[in-house]
Amino acid sequence: EIKAVIFDLDGVLTDTAEYHYQSWKKLAQEEGISFTREDNEQLRGVTRRQSLEILLKGKTLPEDKMEELMVKKNEYYQELINNITMEDLIPGVEELLNQLQEDGYKLAVASASRNARTVIENLEIGKKFQLIADGYSVKNNKPAPDLFLYAAEELEVEPEECIVIEDAESGIEAALAAGMHTVGIGPEERVGQADFRYDKIKDIKLADIVQ
């Protein structure tokens, strides 16, 4: 029996995947590194440091330079997310959250981002969630199951009583490793491992996934 629904944030509730892309792109241009929208697909659900490592394509830099680049990227990103409003909720999200709330499910956000709280505050959806687990909550990030297991523990439900909604391959992997039910949002090649897959969040049929 499903008791809780755990949402990823970036790319699920709002399209911050685009803002992450624009910030990395700006940094890459300054550093003379090529970086395309397609490359960005690999960064979904991946931590800031791992994203930088992927961007550098295996090139290693001294630690202080790594730090400097991560700080810069985050500054660019924060400039963009400052302008987020409730208008930036992905179509279908508000209706889905309202329905789940009405049906009595516990709701949580589990995001690898350290900016998750700002984004949620700007979207004005914080009150809908019993828990916000973010990039500060656990040490090992997705694809490790830790963040989702932490969320289940805090919500006082068992992993098998949770559904995770994710747009990232690493996120689906993490949720499966946690022993949770999974809904993937996006193309087959990205989230095909999920129990259910939809192109868009507004396509979700609640009766199918909450059984």
Residue 165's DSSP bridge partners are: 7, 183
**90 Cβ neighbours under 8 A, 6+ residues apart:** 12, 13, 14, 15, 200, 201, 202
Contact (Cβ atoms closer than 8 angstroms) between residue 139 and residue 185:
no
The least CB distance from residue 174 to Mg ion, in Å, is 11
What span, in angstroms and rounded, lies between the C-alpha atoms of 155 and 139?
Answer: 19
The answer to whether residue 167 forms part of the interface with Mg ion (CB under 5 A) is: yes
Peptide bond into 143 cis (omega under 30): yes
Site mask, ligand G6P, residues 137-176, x = CB under 6 A? -------------------------------x--------
The answer to whether residue 10 forms part of the interface with ligand G6P (CB under 6 A) is: yes
Structure tokens at 55: 């961007």
Residue with the closest Cβ to Mg ion? 11
The answer to whether residue 134 forms part of the interface with Mg ion (CB under 5 A) is: no
Which CB sits closer to ligand G6P, 163 or 174? 174
Which member of 45, 145, 184, 186 binds ligand G6P (CB under 6 A)? Answer: 45
Which residue of the set 8, 39, 199, 203 is catalytic?
8
